[in-house]
A and B are shown apart, each in its own frame.
Chain A
Amino acid sequence: MKILVPIKRVVDYNVKIRIKPDQSGVELTNVKMSMNPFDEIAVEEAVKLKEKGLASEIVVVTIGAAIAQDVLRTAMAIGADRGILVTTPLATDLGGLEPLAVAKLLQKLVEKEQPNVVIMGKQSIDDDSNQTGQMLAALMGWPQATFASKVEKVGDTLHVTREVDGGLETVEVGLPAIVTTDLRLNTPRYASLPNIMKAKQKPLETIDSATLGVDTAPRLKMIGLTDPPKRSGGIKVASVDELIAKLKNEAKVI
């Protein structure tokens, strides 16, 4: 089983973002970037499947500027076999390359690489769209198992437990298929120093997105990006009695 894992370089989840004064986007200069957390889980799951002898090769793909290759190296240090960087001059967080365009670029790579399964994060923590995996599945005409918290290979199929609003749901998907990862699927490992060194020797191919013949022009125009409404600072109460009094008389919520 060959696994393709698309990953994304995003602002680190711990960073408090700043909006550019002209409202065109988020300030990314000198900001710590890392692999999207859901994608780390996707890489880990692929590596686990390989360790169980269920996968033969793991190919990681990212789309972005040249510097995005650093997340490919991270993924290869975790255990991916090789990486593909698809370069684009467009922004990948907001106002540039959109999920549909990403899905179409990935479709070209899937057709070229012919993986049996694509495992990817359920959403990126910058744009928060939660769309790309589902769109790729549609473009390929493949089954989709989104928000996965458990993946098991059963014969020629995958049994995927999905996190849904009322609890859990299990679907069986035949291969090839798309799986998108939820947080509880696994705990990603840290890459060890020797593995980071080894990852530098692994093959990394660069493809210019313009050569893939995909129309990546944005369909959405960013009109502006603003801060959410601020909450006014509250007060501290001294006792449970005071809290109850405030909720009853002042806030009138109980």
Chain B
Amino acid sequence: MSILVIAEHSNSTLRPSTLNAISAAGKLGIDISVLVAGHGVSAVADALAKCAGVTKVIVADSGKLEHHLPENTADFIASFAKTFTHIVAPATAFGKNLLPRLAALLDTQMISDVIDIISADTFKRPVYAGNAIATVQSSDAIKLLTVRTTAFDAVATSGGSASLENMDTSSVTVPANTKFVGAELTQSARPELTAAKIVISGGRGLGSKENFAIVEKLADKLGAAVGASRAAVDSGYAPNDYQVGQTGKIVAPSLYVAVGISGAIQHLAGMKDSKIIVAINKDPDAPIFQVADYGLVADLFEALPQLTEKL
């Protein structure tokens, strides 16, 4: 068995999702190569070489791979993919964009959002917004998986001693018809939502963008990340990358505090694997209370400032 993990990174820094993907790969076997495809990625490659469980770091450094466009990245990976039995990527926007394209080039039915690895060909994944868990067995020669990052612990970023191998990138093409125009990333000093130990999320109950600040205040007090329900995002209270749910991010922190969130199926799909769930809502019948370990029926505009002050 030889496994390829596709690293997610910003060219200069490794994204934590990669550490979870390596951990998932470790359940498949011990021969784990990690591909760093990008431009100016030597720091990322060095960091990966130190990660526990990594055998080899394959570096593909080219200006043509800088923006991780799947149009040429998938072609490039497909050119050497057949030497591996498994290809694993994190089920993030990056992995979800790239891996199905690669899968089709390899004529493989990939498996999305794996939460458990039963054996080399059998995997568990949530379907129907997490309301059912499917166990599937693959008959493809190469298994392609994206893995749910919150379902696998991150590997340690030290203790490893992987070899580095530079790949010839002269065969990489410039994407014929796709151009990266620009990015507009949300600036935040808080921990990353999907990796945070504590997440405080606000919903429609906040009522306005200004009021959302009381959620942020509590988050800062606890060193937590801030999340939001779809209703809060659609109403413009919070940016879209804060959204937790089936169509947003999946989180599984130690503590999830849902403030003014009713608890629709779509939202629960993104947070119901949190260790402890706290709900603060003035509606005692809100569905969120059915999954909350601790529920407080109260006006959030009174309870939240109190909570922030007393912590």
Contact = CB atoms under 8 A, between A and B. Distances in A.
A99 B239 CA distance: 31
Given A11-B128, A134-B100, A144-B70, A163 B93 contact: yes
A231 B240 contact: no
A254 to B, nearest CB: 6
A24 to B, nearest CB: 11
Contact of A225 (B134, B182, B255, B278): B134
Contact of A19 (B126, B132, B298): B132
Given A183-B247, A219-B139, A244-B307, A234 B107 contact: no
A114 B93 CA distance: 29
B128 A17 contact: yes
Interface in B147-174: none
A24 B109 CA distance: 20
A164 B243 CA distance: 11
A219 B92 CA distance: 24
Contacts of A128: 112-113, 125-129, 246
A227 interface: yes
Contacts of B130: 228
Contacts of B176: 143, 174
Interface stretch (B30-38, B52-60, B287-295): B287-295
Contact of A253 (B94, B101, B275): B275
B133 A135 contact: no
A234 B295 contact: yes
Given A131-B100, A253-B198, A170 B111 contact: no
Contacts of B101: 134-135, 137-138, 144
Given A98-B109, A100-B108, A234-B294, A240 B103 contact: no
B183 A168 contact: yes
Given A143-B175, A221-B136, A253-B198, A170 B182 contact: yes
A246 interface: yes
Interface in A58-89: none
A220 B294 CA distance: 40
Given A19-B132, A128-B112, A143 B104 contact: no
Given A128-B112, A147-B97, A236 B297 contact: yes
A149 interface: yes
B251 interface: no
A165 B241 contact: yes
Interface in B263-311: 265-266, 272, 275-278, 284, 289-298, 303, 306-307, 310-311
A125 interface: yes
Interface residues of B, number: 90
Instruction: Tell me which of B74, B112, B134, B310 has the highest count of chain A C-beta atoms within 10 A of its own C-beta.
Output: B134
Interface in A142-164: 142-144, 146-147, 149, 159, 162-164
A241 interface: yes
A222 B136 contact: yes
Contact of A165 (B93, B113, B184, B291): B93
A240 B126 contact: no
B303 A240 contact: yes
A227 B107 contact: no
B19 to A, nearest CB: 15
A21 interface: no
Contact of B278 (A26, A218, A243): A243
A221 B110 contact: no
Contacts of B92: 165
B103, B177, B289 — most chain A CB neighbours (10 Å) = B177
A172 B254 contact: no
A167 B140 CA distance: 35
A251 B272 CA distance: 16
Given A168-B183, A231-B277, 9 more contacts: A136-B104, A139-B104, A144-B178, A159-B181, A166-B186, A221-B137, A226-B132, A226-B135, A236-B295
Interface of B: 69-71, 74, 92-94, 96-105, 107-113, 122, 125-140, 175-186, 194, 198, 222, 230, 233-234, 239-241, 246-247, 249, 254-255, 265-266, 272, 275-278, 284, 289-298, 303, 306-307, 310-311
28 contacts: A13-B265, A17-B132, A26-B128, A125-B129, A127-B127, A128-B125, A128-B127, A137-B71, A144-B70, A144-B97, A147-B96, A149-B240, A164-B241, A166-B185, A166-B241, A169-B183, A173-B178, A220-B139, A221-B136, A228-B131, A228-B132, A228-B133, A231-B291, A234-B295, A239-B296, A243-B294, A247-B276, A254-B311
